[in-house]
Amino acid sequence: MHLSVRDVLLALCLAFSASFRPVWGRPATFEEDFRITWSDSHIAQIDGGRAIQLKLDPGSGCGFASKRRYLFGRVSMKIKLIPGDSAGTVTAFYMNSDTDMVRDELDFEFLGNRSGQPYTVQTNVYAHGKGDREQRINLWFDPSKDFHDYTISWNHLRVVFYVDNVPIRVYKNNEARNVPFPRFQPMGVYSTLWEADDWATRGGIEKIDWSKAPFYAYYKDFDIEGCPVPGPVDCPANPKNWWEGSEYHRLSSVEARRYRWVRMNHMVYDYCTDRSRYPVPPPECLAGI
C-alpha cells in the first residue's frame, strides 16, 4: 500500500484527534465488563490480568461476552491468532442482539489455515434476522505473530469494520432501498474459539489436525465506547455522541484509498459478486461506499 506524504499527515492528524475523543464511561476491562459464556476452564487471564488466553482442544472450545449490551458506538480488541496449522478453527469477535430469528449481528470470523497460507477474515452483517452477506479478505500480515487491532464502528448511517485502522468493510444504511439496517436492537460484544472444519478452511476441504492441539488465541486492550443498555434513555438518539459526528458519516480520503487497496488486492470473496447465489445483486451492493 503506497501512501503520499499528504496521506500520511492526514492519517497522523486523524490518529491524534481520535486520542481526544470523548468516551462514554471508563475503558473496558475483562473482569468488570465481560463474563465467560462457555467453558470457563478454557479461558485464563495472563500477563497479570492484562490479557486473556482462549483454548480449543478436542474436549471443548470457549467463549466470553460483555455483561451489558450497547446501541451504537465503537468496540475494539487486540487479538493474536492461532499460529501454525490452524485449519478448521474459527476465532470470532462479534456483536449480537441475542434475539433469535430477528437478531442483528456484526461479525469478524478469523478462519484458520494450513501453515504458510494467508489467514482469512470473514465479515458478515445480520439485520432483522437477514444475513448471508459474507465478505472475505486475506490479511496482509501474519496475525499470529503479534497483536493487531480489530474494530467495529457503528452509528445510524453505517457500520465499518477496521483492521489496524484500515477499513475492510463498509455496510451503509440503505433503508431507503428497503434493506434492513441494525438500528433498533442493542447488541452485546462476544468472542468465541471453536472447531468448524466442515466449512472454515477451503470450504471444509482442510480438516482440523487435533495432533496440533491445544490451539490458543490471545486478547487484550478491550475498548467499548457506546450507549449501554440499560442506561441513559436519550443516549442512542443523541446526535452529539462522537460516533455520530459528520466525520463518521463517510470514509475520509485516506480511509477510502486504503479501503480500495484492500478490496483490489486482498478480497477473495464478496457476496455482491456471487452470481450463483444472487443472479441479481442485492440492492445494498449498488450503493457504493
- Tell me which residues are annotated as active site: 105, 109
Residue with cell 445494498: 284
CA distances from 76 to 33, 192, 208, 212 (A): 13, 15, 28, 29
Question: Does residue 206 contact residue 199 with C-beta atoms inside 8 Å?
Answer: no
The residue among 222, 190, 163, 172 whose CA lies nearest residue 26 is: 222
Instruction: With beta carbons less than 8 A apart as the criterion, state whether 89 and 195 touch.
Output: yes
Sign for the CA dihedral angle at 170, 115, 58, 204 comes to: positive
Report d(CA 237, CA 109) in Å as an integer: 30
Rounded CA gap, 122 and 169, in Å?
Answer: 10
- CA torsion sign for 221, 59, 110, 215 is positive
Is residue 57 within 8 A of residue 69, CB to CB? The reply is: no
